[in-house]
Amino acid sequence: MTRWIGLAAAFAATLAAAPAAAQYMPQEPQAPGYAAPNLRLPPRDERGDFVTPNRDLTGHEAFWNLKIALNVAAIGCRHAGSLQLISDYNDIIARHGGLIRTTEAAVIARTGVAARDKLSTRLFNYFAQPPAQREFCPVAGSIAQQIGGMDGATMMAKAPTMLADLDRPFVNFYHAYARYQVDLAAWRSGRSVQMAAANPERK
């Protein structure tokens, strides 16, 4: 009996001393939202936050980006509330057409037509990023519904906050993708260690 207790203790000690490689993940990590494995993330600022085209905007600039975000949502979102989203967006266009035209004129006056077109294309591509749509679409639907009961002045005042809410799904995706990159690098490093252990060099 004493012999078996001694063997069990030795076996337990061996397991306790096992290297970290024992935690090797057998499956390669997958990118969040089925994103491309070689996606290029936007730069970060000095605080480590991702820099997006919607940060720190106010006035007409914030409202213009907000309008494009809702336009993309109305075109591309297909979730449980998508029909209501389309209806609410069309109502925004009908009720606030004058403000939209004034905002567009202000953006053009500040940057020029070519720059406005370039910005609009960039924003369309940004808000249409597939991996973030699952979170983005419900947020867009909620905001479009909120705007339906606002007058122009209130909508302009709240545009920066609403734009930040619409931007958050994409920032969340970027953070998730950054974690995926770390996990993938660790997995590849662990795989290299495992392969080296399985195939030692012969001298």
Give how many domains the chain has, as a whole number. Answer: 1
Phi, psi (rounded to 5 degrees) for 50: -75, 140
pLDDT tens column, 138-184 = 999 999 999 988 999 999 999 999 999 999 999 999 999 999 999 99
In a domain, 41, yes or no: no
Of 40, 89, 54, the residue nearest 166 (C-alpha): 54
Q: What's the rounded Cα separation, in Å, for the pair 39 and 51?
A: 16
Lowest model confidence (mean pLDDT) among 25-34, 47-56, 119-128, 169-178? 25-34
Q: What's the rounded Cα separation, in Å, for the pair 106 and 138?
A: 29
Domain that holds residue 100: 52-173
In a domain, 163, yes or no: yes
Q: Identify whether the C-beta of residue 87 lies closer than 8 Å to the C-beta of residue 65.
A: no
Residue 12 clears pLDDT 70, i.e. is over it: no
In a domain, 65, yes or no: yes
In a domain, 36, yes or no: no
In a domain, 161, yes or no: yes
Identify the bridge partners of residue 44 per DSSP, sorted by sequence position: 50
pTM of the predicted model over 0.95:
no
What pLDDT does residue 200 have?
A: 60
In a domain, 24, yes or no: no
In a domain, 93, yes or no: yes
pLDDT tens column, 17-44 = 444 444 555 789 999 999 998 899 999 9
Torsion of CA 120, 122, 123, 124, to 10 degrees: 80
Give SS3 for 165.
helix
What separation in angstroms does the CA of 91 have from each of 86, 114, 176? 9, 28, 35
What pLDDT does residue 192 have?
A: 58
Average pLDDT over the chain reads 86
Q: For residue 21, what is the DSSP state?
A: G
